Amino acid sequence: MPNYPEGTVRALLETDLVTPATRAALEARLTASTIYEPQFFDADTYRLLQAVAARIYPQPDREAPILLAPAIDKRLLNGDADGWRYDSMPPDREAYRLGLGGINQAAEARFQQPFVVLDEARQDQIIELLAAAEAPGENWSQLPQGRFFEEMLAELTEAYYAHPLAQEEIGYVGMADVPGWQHIGLNELEPREPEEL
Amino acid sequence: MPDEETLEESVLNPVQPEIQDPLLREILEENELQADPSRNPLEQPAPLPDPNEIVDCLVIGTGAGGAPLIARLAQAGLRVVALEAGARHDPKTEFATDEKAQNFLFWNDERLSAGKNPVAFGKNNSGIGYGGSTLHYTAYTPRAHRGDLMLHTEFGQGVDWPFGIEELEPYYEEVEQFLGVSGPTPYPWDPGRRKGYPLAPLPLNGAAQLMERACAKLGITTSPAANAALSARYYQEGVGWREACTNRGFCQAGCSTGAKASMDVTYLPVAEQYGAEIRTGAYVTEIERDATGHVTGVVYEQGGRTVRQRCRNLFLCAGAIETPRLLLLNELALNSGQVGKHFMAHVGMQVWGTFPEDIRPYKGIPGGLISEDTHRPKDADFVGGYLLQSIGVMPVTFATQMVRQRKLWGQPLRDYMRDYNHIAGINVLGDCLPHADNFVELSDEKDARGVPKPRVHFTAQENEQRMNRHAERIMRQIWEAAGAKDIWAFERYAHIIGTARMGTSDSEAVVDPNGRAFDVPNLYICDNSVFPSALSVNPALTIMALSLRTADKFLLQRKAAG
């Protein structure tokens, strides 16, 4: 499994290899405050969302984890859409309310405790059930759990891999495109493309 | 190659006096702008139209269906106004090389996706802005084949187009030459073409090389694909010089260099040069008619105002969802019962694998390599055919698709994504037969504008499933031969087609073979919604060809009528 050196994307952002528009988009994410007050979710539901996100994208290697829940909270507050929704799903705000509530119901049914106080192993068991569409809980009668898991997973994934440090983790430097790419074939790298460690 | 050589060698790059020094060029441009600020299209205030003016041609939509005909009609001297729901952008300064920041390119109003294979919209296939969906198309521009237009004749299933490929060929040629399509000459699966591609193919990236290598082992013919992105600097009438592609690989989230032939850097500037007026941020809500059933104008929302524009002829070019949605909302051209019916989406199965080689899938034109050996495979158990292509991919797009299919989470998810630079994909695009179960309707749920959201039903039928199985089998063979590990397939459906079918009978089609609505004499429809069949190739080039043809048919009728 490849590993790439740290600090490469941050360094590239300071060069002329990145356009001002690209730099603005990426720096906004890099410098986003680590403190976020939820505006759509109530405090408890937001903590639950954070706890779920932390199991889907565990980041024990990072001193300051990439925050994923704010993107969802902001989107639901604004009522932004991405062009489509499964017809079998309720509107997004309702889907998240029902889905997160359903995760808590599953935690209570299995372990008689809310999700946020479970240890990581037990939280993972609940996510495992959800991913297999086998989680208990009355909310799932109103919400197809496989689709909810898919949608939440995709949204968390967009938030994670849009972050410059997550892009650095996978060796992506496509943002440094001002000079274009001349070496594009197999095993052909340009000097600004980091080699695997 | 120095510019001077290009100028001398290529008749397609006619010499024109040009200031070579970039600083001097910039200063002169600034001087001109200061002398006449109205020359800067970005600083124009939204026009206040004359409420009494009746324009010759009013066009809704500025994508592949609208833009070529806007240019053609304006060149013919007609007064043309186009309405675009989205904004006008300056790609060079506004487009970030960042997938999330580019989400404004997509038609993000929510559509409800129903059926057993709900179709993804937004970034999957639906654009907005000056240039429409071409702002995010991959620029993959193969021509349709003769047989694609004659499925019923050939197989006894599906629907024939009301004309043959020879009707489209001159327009294919014209569009390819105008846009500056880069591709192989002769074309391996259609060697008899009158004219080759104007530019040599673009270079192959890692995924294309892997596919080329494996297909050679398996005896499958491949070729660098036809892409409407410039492999060399190109001079375009009415536009000027467009620079060669820099292999940014970012076509699907917007080209910032102008090398990709989206409508905003090709047909639309030509249209404006000939006097067409393109109003952006103009969202059409109503189409008005008189007692005789003729369209008299449309009502649109722009910047919080409600505006009415009167017209003699209306061209509806809003794509295969918004076009039928507008017709249904306005109860227009519904006599055939075909509006919204026979929605089709291309079979678009993808196969991914992990390789020992360093691929860096963000570089190079995404669809570098093509094979059309599968256009009519000998062992086919289905109607129609498909093409094979290699695909490059950006990280967010890849990751979100991958999790939807594989449902990875936790550490295994992060571990898999660490191999991003070693992952490559191949893809097919293939026919989809029209079926009564697949259609667009208006739902009871309203969007933020108070307009009913469209609900789109799509279930892959037996023929699509057979094609999926055939395609997955071949692609797995290719990727195994290429040395891939951890191979997985992603069943997906791309490109939105059908819903306002073209045909010869007013009981079976919405528009006649010239694109004119049977029910409404001064309404034309031109976009992917009029396709009677889905074709075995990406639709963009055919939509543009059809757009020019529709304009010519209109002009001929107009001339004949005096």
CB atoms within 10 A of CB B376: 13
What pLDDT shows up at residue B2? 38
pLDDT digits (tens, 9 = 90+) for A109-141: 999 999 999 999 999 999 999 999 999 999 999
Q: How far is CA B253 from the centre of its chain?
A: 13
**β pairing state of B369-371 and B386-391:** antiparallel
Low-confidence ranges of chain B (pLDDT < 50): 1-17
B113 contact residues in A (CB cutoff 8 A): 84-87
What pLDDT shows up at residue B49? 83
B97 touches chain A (CB under 8 A): yes
CATH 3.50.50.60 corresponds to the domain B51-560? yes
B406 touches chain A (CB under 8 A): no
CB atoms within 10 A of CB B19: 12
B306: buried, middle or exposed (CB in 10 Å: 19+, 13-18, 0-12)?
A: exposed
Residue of B nearest to A55 (CA): B410
A87 touches chain B (CB under 8 A): yes
- Give CB contacts under 8 A, 24+ apart, made by A143-146: A143/A89, A143/A90, A143/A95, A143/A98, A143/A99, A143/A102, A144/A86, A144/A88, A144/A89, A145/A99, A145/A102
What pLDDT shows up at residue B424? 98
A8 contact residues in B (CB cutoff 8 A): none
A152 touches chain B (CB under 8 A): no
Report the alpha-carbon distance of residue B173 to residue B184 in Å, rounded.
Answer: 14
pLDDT digits (tens, 9 = 90+) for B320-340: 999 999 999 999 999 999 999
Going by C-beta distance under 8 Å and a sequence separation of 6 or more, which residues neighbour residue A40? A73, A74, A76, A77, A93
What pLDDT shows up at residue B9? 36
Report the alpha-carbon distance of residue A11 to residue A195 in Å, rounded.
Answer: 15
A57 touches chain B (CB under 8 A): yes
Going by C-beta distance under 8 Å and a sequence separation of 6 or more, which residues neighbour residue B487? B351, B352, B353, B476, B479, B480
What pLDDT shows up at residue B154? 98
pLDDT digits (tens, 9 = 90+) for A24-50: 999 999 999 999 999 999 999 999 999
A184 touches chain B (CB under 8 A): yes
Chain A, residues 25-54, CB within 8 A of chain B, namely: 25-26
B206 touches chain A (CB under 8 A): yes
Q: Which of B206, B188, B207, B208 is nearest to B196 (CA)?
A: B188
How many contacts, defined by CB atoms under 8 Å, are there between A and B? 195
B203 contact residues in A (CB cutoff 8 A): 184-185
Q: Which of A102, A104, A175 is nearest to A142 (CA)?
A: A102
**B418/A172 Cβ within 8 A:** no
B246 contact residues in A (CB cutoff 8 A): 177, 179-181
Phi-psi region of B122 (alpha: psi -120 to 50; beta: other; left: phi over 0): left
A186 touches chain B (CB under 8 A): yes
Q: Which of B534, B390, B543, B388 is nearest to B463 (CA)?
A: B534
Q: Which of B330, B329, B259 is nearest to B295 (CA)?
A: B330
What pLDDT shows up at residue B11? 35
A174 contact residues in B (CB cutoff 8 A): 97, 248-250, 362-363, 394-395
- Most B CBs within 10 A among A4, A15, A68, A84, hence the mutation to make, goes to A84
Q: Which of B521, B499, B503, B533 is nearest to B430 (CA)?
A: B533
> Do B333 and B518 form a contact (C-beta atoms < 8 A)?
yes
What letters, b where the CB count within 10 A reaches 16 and e where it falls short, cover B181-203? bbbbeebebeeeeeebbbbebbb
Among A21, A154, A162, select the one facing B403 at the smallest CB separation.
A154
A189 touches chain B (CB under 8 A): yes
B235 touches chain A (CB under 8 A): no
**B357/A153 Cβ within 8 A:** no
The shortest C-alpha distance from B365 to chain A (Å) reads 10
The pair phi, psi for residue B266, each rounded to 5°, is: -130, -90
Residue of B nearest to A19 (CA): B96
Residue with tokens 């060029």: B25
- Residue B390 DSSP code: E
ipTM value for the complex: 0.98
B561 touches chain A (CB under 8 A): no
Report the alpha-carbon distance of residue B211 to residue B205 in Å, rounded.
Answer: 10
A112 touches chain B (CB under 8 A): no
DSSP-H helix ranges across B277-340: 319-329
- Most B CBs within 10 A among A168, A184, A192, hence the mutation to make, goes to A184
The tokens for B69 are 């005909």
The four Cα atoms B427, B433, B436, B438 give a dihedral, to 10 degrees, of: 10
What pLDDT shows up at residue B341? 98
Among B96, B357, B364, select the one facing A187 at the smallest CB separation.
B357
